[in-house]
Structure formats: structure tokens, C-alpha cells
Structure 1
Amino acid sequence: MNIKRGSTTFLKVFLFLAGIAVLALCIFLVPRIANFASTLYPNIALMKYLIFIVMYGAAVPFYFALYQTFNLLRYIEENTAFSDLSVKALKNIKYCAVTISGFYIVGMPLFSFIAKKVDPPVGFIGLIIIFASFVIAVFAAILQRLLQEAINIKSENDLTV
């Protein structure tokens, strides 16, 4: 019991730090990227706002996924991990990951457009985010299915006893 609480506490601290890191990126880095992109292409008035839409738009499902993950860890602590609430949390995490990938897939032409004038491969970072989000979505889908099957087996065993 103590090991489980220690593990979930460690993961909650990690989630909190990840949330702070992304918030710092949203506050300090995203405006710089948007301003930089608008100076690269001053004839495209919407460049700055497109960057804001893609990056801040992806931050919203990221924070919702963090919240769902926090709930999932709480269910584990309360010994209610094998419940429909956990399945729903995993489903929401899956949808959030797909949404984040979607934002960056839509924004990839924009990032590749910027990468044409920039030396480091900016588009490569977008591909990493897309790939990581898809991996998380697939992992959450597999866990969701396994958990649902475990809940079904548990309910069948409860009915036979």
C-alpha cells in the first residue's frame, strides 16, 4: 500500500512539473515563436495568429489529459482502478492525444514554411510531437481495452460466485 502511494505521488509530482513546464513554454516561448514567424513573413498578416492557434490549441487538450491522468492515479490510490471511471479517463486521454496530433498535423505546413528560412529543423520538432501523441493515444487505447476486458471478466466472476 505504501509503495503504491509513493509511486502515484511521484507520478503526480511529475504531472505537476510537466504542467508547469508547458505553461512556461506557453507564456515565454510561444509568443517569441509567433513574433519570429511574423518577422520572417511580414507579408502574411495571420502568421502570428496561426502559430497561436496551433500551439495554444494543443495546450488545452494537453492540460485536460493531465487532469484525466491525475484522476486515474487517484483511482489507483483509492483501489477503484478497475472501474468504468478509469476506462473513461483512458478514453479521454486517447482523444486528447489524437487532438494534439491533429493540431500539429494541421500546423505542419505552417512549421515547414517557417523551417524553409530557419537553419535548425523546426519541422522535425512538430513531427516528434505528432509521433509522441500518437504513441500515447495507441497506448491509452490498448490500456482502455485491456481494462475494459478485465472489468468484464471481474463482473462475470462476481456473477458466477
Structure 2
Amino acid sequence: MKRETLFLKAAVFLIGLPILALCILGLPSIANEAVEHYPAYWVYPLLSVMYASAIPFFIALAQALRLLSYIDKNKAFSELSVKALKNIKYCAITISILYAAGLPLVYLIAEEDDAPGLIVLGMVIVFASIVVAVFAAVLQKLLKNAIDIKSENDLTV
């Protein structure tokens, strides 16, 4: 295992740990407290959006680990890497759509609590996911072009 990818793999695990802790410990306690102040039909759908968005998040982290393992095996310029980047792009788009769908509920809670910063926080998550999706799409396109050029060079004597 290469040192560079070992550091990146550790970083991917460190990115996933706080989200896992939030899903297991943080969100239930936040939901219990929020139900006391807001209607349950606002809180529980928003909570389900948060839990649902954790699924594509962890799928994207698994794809990132898979991509790093391809780099370790000197298979970075392969269709497998392009597929992993495509999956990361779709996961980021899914997260963005889920949080965009939850923004009306965030608006209702922010209006009730008079906290407009909550809406901005929700929009930051949506736009950050869009940025990740665009970046993954650009990397996917560049990698596909590099693979095409490499295959042309391999055929040239």
C-alpha cells in the first residue's frame, strides 16, 4: 500500500466518522428536542431527508476508497475509475436533490424560530453537493479523455 493513498484513505475514514456519529447519536437527540418545539410533521420528514442523504454519502465514500485502491493497483487509468467517479457524481446529485426537497421544511422551521441562517445553511449543503457533482463530472470527463488517448497511443507502433 502506498503512503500517499494511505493518508487519503485515512482522510476518507475521518470524513465518514463524524457523519456516522451524527446519524447514530446526534440526529435522534436533535429530533427529540425539536419535536417538543415544532410539529412532528415538519421534523420527521426533515429527519428522514437527513438519514436518506447519509446513504449516498457513504456510497460516495466507498467509491472514493475504491478509486484509491485502483490507484494503488496502478489501474487509475481504467474504466473502473471512470465508473467510480460516475457513481460519486450521482451520489452528490442525489444528496443535492434530497436537501433541496427538504428546504421548504427548513424554511418553515426557520420562519417559526426566526432564524434565517438556517435556510442559508441548507442552501450551502445543496450547493456544496452540486460543486462536488460538477467536480466529479469534470474529473470523469478528463479521465475518459486520458484513457482514450492512452488507448490510441497503445495502438500506435
Shorter-chain TM range is over 0.9
Q: Structure 1: which 4+ aligned runs deviate by more than 2 Å?
A: 32-42, 45-49, 117-120
Give me the whole-angstrom Cα distance separating, in 2, the residues matched to 1:36 and 1:115.
15
The one of 10, 14, 22 equivalent to 1:13 is 10
Q: Which amino acid aligns with 1:91?
A: K
The one of 95, 99, 111 equivalent to 1:104 is 99
Give me the whole-angstrom Cα distance separating, in 1, the residues matched to 2:33 and 2:79.
46
Deviation by residue 1:49-108 (Cα, 9 ceiling, x = unmatched): 202220001000000000000000111111100000000000000000000000000000
Corresponding position of 1:58:
53
Give me the whole-angstrom Cα distance separating, in 1, the residues matched to 2:118 and 2:55.
22
- Given that 1:94 and 1:136 are in contact with CA atoms closer than 8 Å, whether structure 2 keeps it comes out as yes
What secondary structure sits across from 1:117 in the alignment? helix
Q: Which amino acid aligns with 2:70?
A: Y
What secondary structure sits across from 1:57 in the alignment? helix
Matched-pair identity in %? 56
Deviation by residue 1:107-155 (Cα, 9 ceiling, x = unmatched): 0011111111335522222111111111100000000000000000111
Alignment of 1:133-152 (within 5 A): 133-152=129-148
Q: CA RMSD in A?
A: 1.5
Give me the whole-angstrom Cα distance separating, in 2, the residues matched to 1:113 and 1:39.
15
Task: Establish whether residue 131 from structure 1 lines up as the match of residue 133 from structure 2.
Answer: no
Q: Which amino acid aligns with 2:149?
A: I
TM superposition shift of 1:41: 2.6
TM superposition shift of 1:46: 2.6
**What's the TM-score once normalised by structure 1's chain length?**
0.90
What secondary structure sits across from 2:18 in the alignment? helix
Q: Which amino acid aligns with 1:113?
A: L
Q: Give the gaps of 5 or more residues in structure 2.
A: none
TM superposition shift of 1:18: 1.2
Corresponding position of 1:72:
67
Count of aligned residue pairs for this structure pair: 156
